[in-house]
Amino acid sequence: MHTGANTTPADPKRAAHEARRERLISEFHRARDAGRPIRLKKATSNLFRDRRRADRASLDVRDFTHVLDVNPAEGWVDVEGMIRYETLVDALLPRRLMPAVVPELKSITVGGAISGGGIESSSFRHGFVHETVLEMDILTGAGEIVICRPDNAHADLFFGFPCSYGALGYCLRARIRTMPTRPFVHLRHQAFSRIESFVAEMMNACRAGRTSDGKPAFIDGTAFSDRSFVLTTGTWSDEAPRTSDYTGDNIYHRSLREKSEDWLTVKDYLWRWDTDWFWCSRAFGAEHPVLRRVYKSLGLLRSTAYWKIKAFLRRSGLFALLRLDRGVEYVIQDVEIQAERAGEFLAFLLREIGILPVWVCPAQGSEGGPRFPLYPTDPSKLYLNFGFWGGVPSEHPPGHFDRLVEAKTIELGGWKSLYSTSYFEPDTFERLYDESRCRSLKQRYDPDKRFPDRYAKCVRTS
C-alpha cells in the first residue's frame, strides 16, 4: 500500500523510483508472510556499536541512491534515502548548490543522517540534518510507504523519525533544504589557550553568523590539549589568492595550528575531514609519510577505506589476535551540551577521558522552530557538539569511560548520540529519549514489530 506516494510516470527518474519502491514492497510482504523480522541490506554503515547477529529478512535498499529532482528557486532537492552525501554533493555543486548541512564523512547517507543524527559547521545556522528536512517517504513496519510532512496526517512520524534508528521505519525519499554556494571558502583559524575564552568566542561567532549578512557561514573548533584550542570560521569567497589541498600529502588538522588563514574550494572544504577520518587515520599509519604515499597511490586516503580496514580486522579475528584492545577502552562518542555549560563538559573530557584532539561543532535550529521528541534538543538554544574518538588506557571493567561520559552528559542536561556503544539503564533511557513516545509511534506504524526495538538495538546491541 502506498499512502501519499509521489507518482509522475512521465518523469523517467520518478518512474524508476516507483519501480524500486514496488520491488521493495514485494520483498517486504514476502518477509512478513514468512513471519520474519526485517532489517536493511545496505552498502554502508557508520555505526560504531557491535551488533548481535539475528535471524532477520533483509530488504535490499542498495539501489535507492538517486537524485530525483532539484528546485533551486524553492531551495530544495529530492533524493533517495540511501544516497551518500558524496554523490549528492557531486550532483549539486555544478549548480552552485549544496545541502544546507553536509555531514563530515562522504559515506554518510541522507536517510542515516536523518534517523540517526547529522551535523557540520553550517549547523550553527541550519541546525542538525533533520531540521533541514521538508518531507519524507517512510517505509513503515505495516508495509506501507507514507509521505510525512510537518502539516499532514503523518506529522507525528515526521517529527518522531529523527533518532529512531530504524525502529519506526526507513526513509526511502527525502526533500531537504539546499543553499547557494560560491567557489571558495576562506578560513580563519584563531588560537586560544583557555577553555573559557575559546567557548565564549565560539558563541560570539555563532551570534554574528546568524545575523542577516550570514558571516561567517561555517564554524567549528578543535581542542588539541588543555591549553591549545583553535576556533575556525569560514566565509564564502568568489576568489582565492591560493588554495590548499588536503586530499593527499598534507593533513588538514595539522594546518589548524600552522596557519592563521587558508582557502579551499567548496568541495575540498566539505570533505576536509574525510581524507584522514578527522585524525583517526593515524591509527592505520596513514599519517606516516611513507605509508601515506602508499595509501595515496592505492586511493585509500578516505574514511571508507579506514572503515573497511577496521571491519576486516574485527571480522577476521586479527583485532583480537593482535590484542589491539588489550588494556584499552575505545570511546567513540558524540555529545551535545548547551553552550552555557559546554566549557564544563570540555574540561571534564580533557581531565577524565583524555582523548585528543576533540572536535567541537555548534548547532542551533530555527528559533521557535519545531521540536523532535526523540531528539530532545531545544531549537531556541545553541549546543556545542563534542566528537571524541579513540582509545583510553584502562584497567577498569569494560565501559568504564563510556559510563563516565553518560553520567556527565546527564548531569549537564546534555544529549548523547546513539550510533556507538551505550550503557543506559532502561528507566534512564526511557526518560532521556522519550521511549514512551517511540512506543506510541511504533504501535501506529509498526504494530507487528517487524523492525527492531530502539532500546534493544541501540543499547542492548541487537
175 belongs to a structural domain: yes
Q: What was the pLDDT predicted at 127?
A: 96
Chain length of the chain = 462
> Are residues 183 and 238 in contact, defined by beta-carbon separation less than 8 angstroms?
yes
Question: What is residue 76's DSSP assignment?
Answer: E
CATH for 125: 3.30.465.10
70 belongs to a structural domain: yes
When pLDDT is cut at 50, 70 and 90, the band that residue 56 belongs to is low
Give the whole-angstrom CA distance, residue 361 versus residue 222.
9
Give the whole-angstrom CA distance, residue 182 versus residue 326.
48
Q: What is the mean pLDDT of residues 186-213?
A: 94
When pLDDT is cut at 50, 70 and 90, the band that residue 326 belongs to is confident
Q: What is the mean pLDDT of residues 131-142?
A: 96
pLDDT in tens, 90-110: 999 999 999 999 999 999 999
Query: Residue 146: enclosing H or E segment and its boundaries?
Result: strand 145-148
> Are residues 161 and 210 in contact, defined by beta-carbon separation less than 8 angstroms?
no
Q: What percent of the chain has pLDDT over 90?
A: 77
275 belongs to a structural domain: no
> 211 Cβ partners below 8 Å, 6+ apart?
none
pLDDT reading at 46 higher than 70? no
The CA-based dihedral angle spanning residues 50, 55, 59, 62, taken in that order and rounded to the nearest 10 degrees? 40
341 belongs to a structural domain: no
The CA-based dihedral angle spanning residues 74, 78, 81, 83, taken in that order and rounded to the nearest 10 degrees? -100
Give the whole-angstrom CA distance, residue 95 versus residue 76.
12
Q: What is the mean pLDDT of residues 51-75?
A: 83
> Are residues 120 and 101 in contact, defined by beta-carbon separation less than 8 angstroms?
yes
396 belongs to a structural domain: no
> Are residues 139 and 170 in contact, defined by beta-carbon separation less than 8 angstroms?
yes
Residue 132: how many CB atoms within 10 A of its CB?
24
pLDDT reading at 53 higher than 70? no
First CA to last CA distance, the chain = 29
Strand-pair category, 228-237 with 218-225: antiparallel
pLDDT in tens, 426-444: 999 999 999 999 999 999 9
> 32 Cβ partners below 8 Å, 6+ apart?
38, 143, 448, 450
Give the whole-angstrom CA distance, residue 391 versus residue 326.
10
pLDDT reading at 460 higher than 70? no
Tell me how many domains the chain contains. 1
Give the whole-angstrom CA distance, residue 131 versus residue 142.
26
Q: What was the pLDDT predicted at 52?
A: 54
Domain containing residue 122? 2-180+440-458
381 belongs to a structural domain: no
Tell which wins on pLDDT, 223 or 366: 223
316 belongs to a structural domain: no
pLDDT reading at 4 higher than 50? no
Q: What is the mean pLDDT of residues 257-261?
A: 98
